[in-house]
Homo-oligomer: A and B are copies of this chain.
Amino acid sequence: MADAAGSAGNETLLFLTDDQLRKGIEAMFFAYRGFTADPDRILGDKGYGRAHHRAIHFINRSPGTTVNNLLSILGVTKQSLNRVLRTLIEDGLVESRVGTRDKRERHLFLTATGQALESELSTAQRNRMRAAFRQVGPDAVVGFRQVLEAMMDTEMRRHYVRLREAGE
């Protein structure tokens, strides 16, 4: 453990065994269910699904974002996203404004109602993550984020980093 990086003995690479990797895989699977469980409950009660949550989350993060930008973040087809956006707009959670510079673009914003739902969802999700973070401490959290970032596709990492910069 102590000589992890330097010694280059074969013990150093024990964390790369198939067994360790499999545990990481199963941990991802089970943890992701926990990660989505609380929002899923809230959404189900209101007749929405995970797809609506994702749209709401990223519109909240980048108010005024275009449909096209949202598409590349979410990695779905426009038809699929459009179905979700249509219901959110009809229900008055999202507002779609025609672009001023480029009138082909639609800029998306959360309404007050949309912000309320966003807040309810993200509060629930943050509560669970806060409990986990607090339980394991800051060093573990750093490792957690490092592994996740290394596991992303480069395209997705681009979006992730762009959002981080915007948020700070």
Chain A residues with CB under 8 Å of chain B are 1, 4-5, 12, 14-16, 18-35, 37, 54, 75, 122, 125-126, 128-153, 156-157, 159-160, 163-164, 167-168
Instruction: Across the interface, name the chain B residue whose C-beta is closest to A128.
Output: B151
Q: How far is the CA of A23 from the CA of B25 in the complex (A)?
A: 21
Smallest CB separation, A10 vs chain B (Å): 13
Residues of B within 8 A of A156 (CB): 30-31, 33-34
A130 touches B16 (CB 8 A): yes
A160-B129 CB under 8 A given contacts A19-B167, A141-B143: no
Q: Which residue of B lies closest to A132 (CB)?
A: B150
> Which secondary structure dominates chain A's binding surface?
helix
Residues of B within 8 A of A164 (CB): 23, 26
The docked-state distance in angstroms from the alpha carbon of A140 to that of B152 is 16
Q: How far is the CB of A130 from chain B (nearest CB, A)?
A: 6
Bound together, the chains give a CA A25 to CA B141 distance in angstroms of 12
CB contact under 8 A between A157 and B30, given known A15-B141, A126-B25, A140-B147: yes
Report yes or no: A31 in contact with B148, Cβ–Cβ below 8 A: yes
Contact A125 B167 (CB under 8 A): no
Contacts of A22 in B (CB 8 A): 122, 126, 167
